[in-house]
Structures are given as C-alpha cells and as structure tokens.
C-alpha cells in the first residue's frame, strides 16, 4: 500500500450510487396517471418543462440546506400539476409522497461499490463522503443502500451551506478525520465539482470517468479511472493510486 495516503473520500451521486431521479419521476407520473385517469406522457412533459426553471431558482439553495429537503421536488410537482390544470393540494401531497417513495427505491449501488469500500475498510483506510445536497436527504441514501456504517465522516453541502467545488467543504471533511490534504484522495464523477474542488483543496483528485470522455480541462492535475476498482489498483503500466 502507498503510505502517503491516509484517507479516501468519495462523492455520492454518480460515484457510489446511481442517480435515480429520472426513474422516480417516471414512476410517479405513471402512478398518478393510473390512480387519477391522467395522461402519463402529459405529466412527464409538464415536469420536464418546469424542472430547469425550478432548479435554476432553487437548486443551489436546496443543496446548501436553506430549504427543507422536500421543498424542491414539491415545488416541481406543484408547478407540474398546475400546468395540467390540477391545482389541488391533496394531489400535490400525494405526488410528493409518491416521488419520495419512488426515489428511495431507485437508490442502488454501482456493481463494484460495496466490494471496494469493504476492501478499503479491511486495509484500515479511513473513508469519507463529500456530497452536494441536503444533509438529511443525502444521509438517507447511504442508509437506504446499506453503506452508512462504512464511513468515518460524511459532509454534505447542506451541513455547512457551502457547495463543491468550494474548498471549505473538502477542508471540513479532512478536519473531520484529522488528515492533511496532501495525504488524502477524493473520488468523484463530476469534473467541476469533484476534480477541480479536490485539486484546489490540495487533495489528490480522482475522476471516475466511466464513459471515457475527454476531460473538460487539461490544467487540473488528476487521475482518470474507469471503475472504482481502480482506486485499489490500476493497470501495471500506470502508477497505482493505493497499491502498486
């Protein structure tokens, strides 16, 4: 093992856990259509129409924890139903509840996630999560997929009101483990938030680039990997991240 690494931090959505938001919306739309004789395609079209506007207005506030964890999805469903002429508080409550239930059911681990985390734990490597999103909402994902007990520290943007890529959220996580930035790595799928943020904080930035796309920036030092397994060992011709 490389003795310069004292801790490994991970992003959550798109890195450890599949992002099932789109599936949750589709499931909710079809269930509302079934229960109330609505057109599922019309619901989905209205939802797509209002989503970007709501996210632009409230997304960052929601992730910083300035709004209740259900506020953003609830507002999206309120506007969706209003566009369909269904300005009904009871129906809105039902849609919001269906969405939360459906979304929890879509939280699934990537195939290699659990094995990699357990192997790191068995090697005695402290682990952490650094994630953008409401604190309660993000921690619920960890519980749902059964990996909450594998981490020594979890820092969500909703905990401190600061989003990745700001260095403050990375520093908070490092301080939580008492680890120096230069002796820690952060693994994430979002180049701007995870790679740039971790590099700016002085950590070794690792980009989980499953689709092998070209990096949007060439001036940010980082490791490029295809699978979380590569956190443990890379092909022999490359320098290993944790093991040679």
Across the range 184-205, mean pLDDT stands at 98
pLDDT at residue 189 is higher than 90: yes
Q: In angstroms, how far is CA 74 from the centroid of its own chain?
A: 20
Q: What whole-number distance in Å separates Cα of residue 202 and Cα of residue 184?
A: 9
Q: How confident is the model at residue 69 (pLDDT cuts 50, 70, 90)?
A: confident
Tokens of 179: 């680890």
Question: Is residue 167 over pLDDT 80?
Answer: yes
**105 — pLDDT class (breaks 50, 70, 90):** confident
Spatial contact of 63 and 81, defined as CB atoms under 8 Å apart: no
Asked if residue 193 has pLDDT above 80, the reply is yes
Please give the Cα distance from 12 to 64 (Å, whole number).
16
Rounded Cα distance, 169 and 129, in Å: 11
E-assigned strands of 162-203? 184-188
Q: What is the pLDDT of residue 67?
A: 92
The C-alpha atoms of residue 126 and residue 122 are separated, in whole angstroms, by 10
Q: Select the more confidently predicted residue: 78 or 238.
A: 78
Phi-psi region of 202 (alpha: psi -120 to 50; beta: other; left: phi over 0): left
């Amino acid at each position: 093992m490389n003795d310069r690494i004292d801790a490994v931090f991970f992003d959550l959505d798109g890195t450890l856990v599949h992002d099932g938001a789109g599936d949750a919306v589709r499931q909710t739309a079809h269930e509302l259509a079934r229960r109330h004789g609505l057109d599922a395609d019309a619901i989905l079209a209205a939802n797509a129409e209002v989503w970007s506007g709501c996210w632009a207005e409230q997304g960052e506030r929601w992730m910083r924890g300035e709004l209740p964890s259900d506020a953003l999805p609830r507002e999206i469903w309120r506007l969706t139903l209003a566009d369909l002429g269904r300005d009904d508080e009871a129906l809105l409550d039902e849609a919001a509840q269906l969405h939360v239930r459906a979304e929890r059911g879509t939280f699934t681990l990537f195939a290699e996630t659990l094995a990699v985390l357990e192997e790191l734990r068995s090697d005695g490597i402290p682990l952490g999560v650094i994630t953008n999103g409401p604190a309660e909402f993000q921690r619920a994902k960890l519980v749902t997929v059964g990996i909450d007990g594998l981490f020594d520290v979890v820092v969500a943007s909703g905990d401190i009101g600061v989003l990745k890529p700001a260095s403050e959220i990375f520093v908070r996580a490092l301080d939580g483990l008492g680890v120096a930035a230069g002796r820690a790595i952060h693994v994430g799928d979002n180049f701007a938030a995870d790679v740039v943020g971790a590099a700016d904080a002085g950590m070794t930035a690792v980009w989980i680039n499953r689709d092998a796309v070209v990096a949007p920036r060439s001036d940010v030092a980082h490791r490029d990997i295809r699978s979380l397994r590569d956190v443990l060992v890379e092909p022999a011709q490359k320098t290993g991240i944790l093991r040679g």
